[in-house]
Every structure is written in C-alpha cells, then in structure tokens.
Amino acid sequence: MERQSVVRGHALVAGATGTVGCRLVEQLGQADFKVTGLCRRATGVSREVEYLEADLLNYESSKLVLSRLSDLTHIFYAARANHGEGTVEPVEENLTMLKNLVGLVEEFCPTLEHVHVVHGAKYYGCHLGSYRTPAREEDPRHIGPNFYYDQQDYLISRAGDWQWSISRPCLVYDFAPQQSRNPASLIAVYAELSRALGVPLEFPGSDKNYNVLAEAVSASHLAKAIIWIATNRQCANQAFNVTNGDCFRWANLWPEIAKFFQLPLGIPRDLTLTEVMSNKSPIWQKIVETQNLKSNSLDNLAQWSFGDFIFGQEWDLLMSTTKLAATGFPEVVDTRAMLLDYFQQYRAAKIIP
C-alpha cells in the first residue's frame, strides 16, 4: 500500500520566486506541507502550487490578498526590499514588509504557529570588513544600520501565540537560470567568455581574495535546514548559521574550475567586472547562436556588480554551524562537488556550452 502523507501544516513562502524561496517551495512540498507562494509577480512558476501576488509595502492591497487565507500555520519569509548591489539595504522598508505580512496573517489566521525569517552573514558585518571568525550566533552586533537587527527585534517583541526562528546563511549557490545574482552561473559565463576571448581563466579578484577562507551554501541544503529549524521545538526563538559545513580558498578551487572548463589557469587580476564585462553581451550572443544554446541574455545569467562584491572581499568569511549541528540536523554538502555539479546542470540544460 502507498503511504498516505499527513499534511504537516500550511506554509506561506514570502519571496517565493527568489533563489531561496523557490527551493523552500520545493522542499516544503516534499516535507508534506501545503504551500502557498507570495511574490510581487507570479511569472514562470509551478502550477502545482498556488501563488499570490502582493507588494508587502502596500498594506491595503496586501490585505485584499492575504484575507483569502485562514489556516496558515507557518510563515517562511525570504523577501527583501529592492536595493542596489553594495548599498545599505533600506531598514524601514524591510521592516514594514515583515510587519505588514505578520500582522495580516495574525489577523486572518489564528492557526499561526511559527514565523521563520531568512537573514544572512551580513548580520556579523562581513560586508564591512574583517570580523571575528568563525562567527557565532551570539556575537555582538555591529554599528548599524542593519535591517536584520530591526526585524529580529520585532519578532522577539511580537512572539507569544507563535514562535520565531532565523536562519543566517552564507553566500547561496544554485542551479537557477533566471537568477542573475548567482555565483554558479556568473562563474560559468565568465569562463565561457574567457574561452571566446582566447584568454586563460584568470581569477577576477585580488591575490588576497584568492587566498582568504570562504564558504558557500547550496539553496536546497539551506531550504532543508530552514524547515528543520522551523519545525523542531529545540530551535524555537533562536537564530542559526547555515552553511554547507565546509570551507574553501579560491586558490584551491579555481584550478578545479579551470579544469572543468578545460581552460588554462590564469592568475589573479583584480578586475572590476562591471567595467570589463560591460561590452561583452554581443560576444555572449554569438556563443549562444554558434553553440545552439537556449536563448538567454547575459544580464539574466550574470550580475557583474554581484561578482565584484564576491571577489572584492579580502578577509576570511567563516561562520560556525556547531549550534545547528547540535540540534541534530544531519546534512552537510561538499562545496567543490556542489559547484561542479551546478556547472554540469547548466551545461545539460544547454545554457552554457
């Protein structure tokens, strides 16, 4: 006889079309949750899941949408206010979005049990310069502004009938062809442009960046960890770092990337990708046409300002995941194998040669 699955609850995923949100929708379905996605625009999404469109900055229009729901048990919040790369993310807008969502769900869903919010390593000031590593969840805050602090303080102040939790992932990697803010596709496209230009696979960062410790997290691994955190009582009302569980230096990983793409290994060049790649769209279009690839613009696959952020940091990036492991979460991911597998997925999908 087939196992009859028992629905564990009704989860609302805010930011459902983003990298983390997409994987949360996928993994929650596999974990026997009923899932509803919430996003600004529900384009190109699975028809197996109901998606609602709302701008969480607009309370009244959000109320019209969310008032249709009455049995939500979990909120998974992976939404962000619009912001430019490398700029301070707006505190008031990000806080307002979370307040509007939680307040409306509280009003219409007396069944609410848990609110989980996705934050990140910027909690520790990793974007500002050198910081204490490996960062631990109890480390002191840096001088703001940092909307993570405001959102966490809000959750603490409102929790009572429901519980909260926060995940703090490091840099997220995925096979996500429509997400340009993605290290996997950015590196793959950079490699293929290097091939077309007849140059070695030169490392775009500085020598310092080439040799610092770094870490990554697979989007699917992160989604599994988030569900674990949000559904285990010992994790309630706490924050948890989430990474693959290992670390690397680009100096060791970059030669493996060059080998995968069968390119000569270049040296660190300390490039500004937003400048160097600003005129490369015609070259990419020619690669797409001559290699019979799926039509996809360079802007859809690589956000070069994001690349400048990744390869511009000259200090160790490292968080401790001891706290999460101590709760019994069992999974780890080999970052090297993960990245090469994502490259292979992009190749198999005819997005890169």
For the chain, give every domain's residue range.
Answer: 10-172+216-242, 174-215+247-317+333-348
* Tens of pLDDT, residues 108-121: 999 999 999 999 99
* Tens of pLDDT, residues 179-217: 899 999 999 999 999 999 999 999 999 999 999 999 999
Determine the pLDDT at residue 140. Answer: 96
Determine the pLDDT at residue 339. Answer: 98
Q: Specify the CATH class of 10-172+216-242 in words.
A: alpha beta
Stated length of the chain: 353
Mean pLDDT of 313-329: 97
* Tens of pLDDT, residues 52-79: 999 999 999 999 999 999 999 999 999 9
Determine the pLDDT at residue 84. Answer: 63
What is the pLDDT confidence band of residue 44, given thresholds at 50, 70 and 90? Answer: low
What is the pLDDT confidence band of residue 2, given thresholds at 50, 70 and 90? Answer: very low
In sequence order, the β-bridge partners of residue 169 are 242
- Percent of the chain residues topping a pLDDT of 70: 96
Average model confidence (pLDDT) across the chain: 95
Provide the 3-class DSSP secondary structure of residue 9: coil
Residue 46 has pLDDT above 70, yes or no: no
Provide the 3-class DSSP secondary structure of residue 243: coil
Q: Which residues lie below 8 Å from residue 295, measured CB to CB, with a gap of 6+?
A: 288
Determine the pLDDT at residue 3. Answer: 47
Determine the pLDDT at residue 87. Answer: 65
User: Amino acid identity, residue 281?
Assistant: S
In the chain, count of helices (H) and strands (E)?
Answer: 14, 13
| CB-based contact 83:123 (threshold 8 Å) | no
Provide the 3-class DSSP secondary structure of residue 118: strand
What is the pLDDT confidence band of residue 88, given thresholds at 50, 70 and 90? Answer: confident
> In which residue are the tokens 């080998």 written?
259
Tell me the pTM. Answer: 0.95
Compute the CA torsion angle 109, 113, 119, 124 (nearest 10 deg).
140
User: Amino acid identity, residue 121?
Assistant: A
Query: What does 330-345 look like in DSSP terms, one character per residue?
Result: -----HHHHHHHHHHH
* Tens of pLDDT, residues 127-174: 999 999 999 999 999 998 999 999 999 999 998 999 999 999 999 999
User: Amino acid identity, residue 119?
Assistant: H
Region for residue 39 given its phi and psi (left: phi exceeds 0; alpha: psi -120 to 50; beta: otherwise): beta
The Cα-based distances of 266 to 182, 223, 224, 344 in angstroms read 22, 35, 37, 22
Q: Which two tokens stand for residue 144?
A: 């703001």
